[in-house]
Amino acid sequence: MMAIDPLERQLPALLTELAEPRTPDYVDDLLERTGQAHQRPAWTSLGGWLPTIRTGRILPSAWPVLLRLMVVALVLVIGGGILLVAGSHPAVGPAPTPSESPAPSSSATVPDALRMVRPDGTFPEVAIWVSGPRSLPGPGADSGTALRFTETTLALTRSRVDLPLSLSTAEGTAEGLLRLTTSASCGDGATGEYRWGISPDGRHLTISAVADACAVRLAAVPGDWLRIACKDTRQPCLADLAAGTYPSLNFAPHLQTNDTATPVYGALRYTVPEGWANAADLPGQFVLVKSSDYASYGPGGATNGSVHELVVASNPALSDQTGDCAGAPVASVDHSVQGFVDWLRAQSRIESSVPTPIEIAGHRGQSIDLRVAPSWTGTCPDDPDGTPTAVILTPYAPFGPVPELQSQSTGADPSWALVGEERMRLILVDVGEGDIVLVQVVATDPARFESLAAEAMPIIQSMTFD
């Protein structure tokens, strides 16, 4: 009979005594931090972002509050100095077919339809409509324009909310009419009246000016607007799409690592049939999914570990496998489609198909199908399942400093990886100026890969990059 070591016998009780387990006094502080931190959307990963951030910088808990205060202050302060420059109003998306405007819910508030009333009668905190760039002073000329309605106000901004153009009180005054009264810019009290209509599906808003003493508004508000309808209402995307051709809202094909994530409107255009949804549209990354999959998405993306997506990313970096799976950018590879393909094919952790040439809107590229090599056993420390994982890319950090997204950067660059049985088609396209756009079709369920790829390829072939 083996004797029990006396130290080992005493250790559990001794350690418990030494530790004095108790509910920590920082639980409230922790929950405040997590409450202000965004979850990393599962859609931003090939199979979900790997939980591999080892050095994520924890922002002070006061940051989001400060950000909001700064934005409000900027909105209130800047507007007065903004001058009118002639505006143009590029068309957006499929031509809307305005219907009769709903009656305003009350004479003192923004009409419910403009605030995107839900079937249960609730509203998003801010209802955002987007359109193309307006010829207005200030930086961000390539960025889109946004109307941000609350119950009683309208903020006019570029895609970045740190560039406010005007803030008005807003109220429905009669059927299909909206009165805006300036509270910042144009001088207090300048009023304007606009006629509006929303398409039957609620996705398109058309506004025309009746009259306005505020030149900034008059230059920017009229036009056609698309509804922002992400599951996470703070994120910019169109969600379910009707069949048609659409502009991207923020995606920037020429965005490079270390660039400030400046949104560009319409730099990617794409055509979808019925049954697709736009799940993300960030400067570094754009995502389409089948509507049937999007139906089960939550604010953070896929909720059941099932990720079947078409992802477009700007200038990703190849990444070596590291023990912590944070990835390490490979600097020695020629930044070209051929250089990337050659490197990928040389990695023992990846099994790849023979690359095939492809041309998208005149841009040449190569397509290659990838999966984790059967012999690869590397895993990631934070993966509870110990699934073989092959890190391959470091994308542009999608949570970069784009205030519109109201996201908090961790300061870390997550890696992209193939996990387990996942299948991926990776298309690398040279879009000029030395930039590479990466288009991926990814399926966590390998049985769905071929059909998903077959449906995705016509969409990919429809894409244009500016």
Partner 1 sequence: MDQRDLVDRAKRGDHDAFALLVGSAIARLDAAARLILRDPELARDAVQEGFLRAWRNLPALRDPDRFDAWLRRLVIHSCIDVTRRRRRRVFEVELTPTDGPATGDFASGVVDRDQLDVALRRLDPEWRAVVVLHYFLGMPLPDVAATLGIPLGTAKSRLHRSLAAMRVSIGSDDAVSVAVPGGQFA
The span from the CA of 453 to the CA of 440, in Å, is 9
The DSSP output letter for 80 is G
Q: Choose which of 138, 139, 200, 386 interacts with partner 1 (CB under 8 A).
A: 386
Provide Rg for the chain, Cα atoms: 25
Among residues 165 and 307, whose Cβ is nearest to partner 1?
A: 307
The minimum distance between CB 421 and partner 1, in angstroms, equals: 12
x-marked contacts with partner 1 along 214-233 as a string, rule CB under 8 A:
------------------x-
Considering the rule CB under 8 A, would residue 15 count as an interface residue with partner 1? Answer: yes
The DSSP output letter for 314 is E
The span from the CA of 313 to the CA of 459, in Å, is 15
Look-up: residue for tokens 């994120």? 235
The span from the CA of 124 to the CA of 243, in Å, is 25
Closest CA relative to residue 349, chosen from 381, 316, 329, 378: 378
The minimum distance between CB 98 and partner 1, in angstroms, equals: 34
The span from the CA of 232 to the CA of 363, in Å, is 33
* Distance, first Cα to last Cα, the chain: 77
Considering the rule CB under 8 A, would residue 357 count as an interface residue with partner 1? Answer: no
Considering the rule CB under 8 A, would residue 254 count as an interface residue with partner 1? Answer: no
Closest CA relative to residue 443, chosen from 424, 416, 458, 415: 424
Q: Choose which of 119, 136, 197, 305 interacts with partner 1 (CB under 8 A).
A: 305
The minimum distance between CB 29 and partner 1, in angstroms, equals: 8
Q: Choose which of 1, 2, 24, 81 interacts with partner 1 (CB under 8 A).
A: 24
The minimum distance between CB 4 and partner 1, in angstroms, equals: 11
Q: Identify which range of 78-86, 199-207, 342-350, 382-390 contacts partner 1 by CB under 8 A.
A: 382-390
Q: Identify which range of 94-102, 249-257, 292-300, 356-364 contacts partner 1 by CB under 8 A.
A: 292-300
Q: Where are the alpha helices (DSSP H) in 96-188?
A: none
Sites for partner 1 among residues 406-445 (CB under 8 A): 410
Considering the rule CB under 8 A, would residue 300 count as an interface residue with partner 1? Answer: yes
Q: Choose which of 2, 23, 357, 447 interacts with partner 1 (CB under 8 A).
A: 23
The minimum distance between CB 391 and partner 1, in angstroms, equals: 14
Among residues 221 and 279, whose Cβ is nearest to partner 1?
A: 279
The span from the CA of 314 to the CA of 253, in Å, is 5
Among residues 159 and 319, whose Cβ is nearest to partner 1?
A: 319
Among residues 37 and 177, whose Cβ is nearest to partner 1?
A: 37
Among residues 233 and 256, whose Cβ is nearest to partner 1?
A: 233
Closest CA relative to residue 308, chosen from 298, 297, 300, 299: 297
Considering the rule CB under 8 A, would residue 48 count as an interface residue with partner 1? Answer: yes
Q: Choose which of 2, 5, 120, 374 interacts with partner 1 (CB under 8 A).
A: 5
| Element holding 320 (H helix, E strand) | strand 317-320
CB 141 within 8 A of CB 250: no
Among residues 9 and 364, whose Cβ is nearest to partner 1?
A: 9
Question: What DSSP line would sit under 180-199, residue for residue?
Answer: EEEEESSSTT-EEEEEEEE-
The minimum distance between CB 436 and partner 1, in angstroms, equals: 26
Closest CA relative to residue 436, chosen from 399, 405, 393, 400: 393
Considering the rule CB under 8 A, would residue 188 count as an interface residue with partner 1? Answer: no
Size, binding site for partner 1 by CB under 8 A: 57
Considering the rule CB under 8 A, would residue 355 count as an interface residue with partner 1? Answer: no
Closest CA relative to residue 380, chosen from 329, 324, 319: 324
Question: What DSSP line would sit under 360-390, residue for residue?
Answer: ETTEEEEEEEEEE-TT-----TT-TT---EE
Q: What share of the chain is helix, strand, coil (3-state, %, to 5)?
A: 20, 30, 50
Considering the rule CB under 8 A, would residue 385 count as an interface residue with partner 1? Answer: yes
| Element holding 272 (H helix, E strand) | strand 268-272
Among residues 124 and 244, whose Cβ is nearest to partner 1?
A: 124
The minimum distance between CB 444 and partner 1, in angstroms, equals: 9
Considering the rule CB under 8 A, would residue 328 count as an interface residue with partner 1? Answer: no
Among residues 4 and 211, whose Cβ is nearest to partner 1?
A: 4
- Interaction site with partner 1 (CB under 8 A): 5-8, 10-12, 14-24, 26-27, 29-31, 33-35, 37-42, 45, 48-51, 53-56, 58, 232, 298-303, 305, 323, 381-382, 384-386, 410
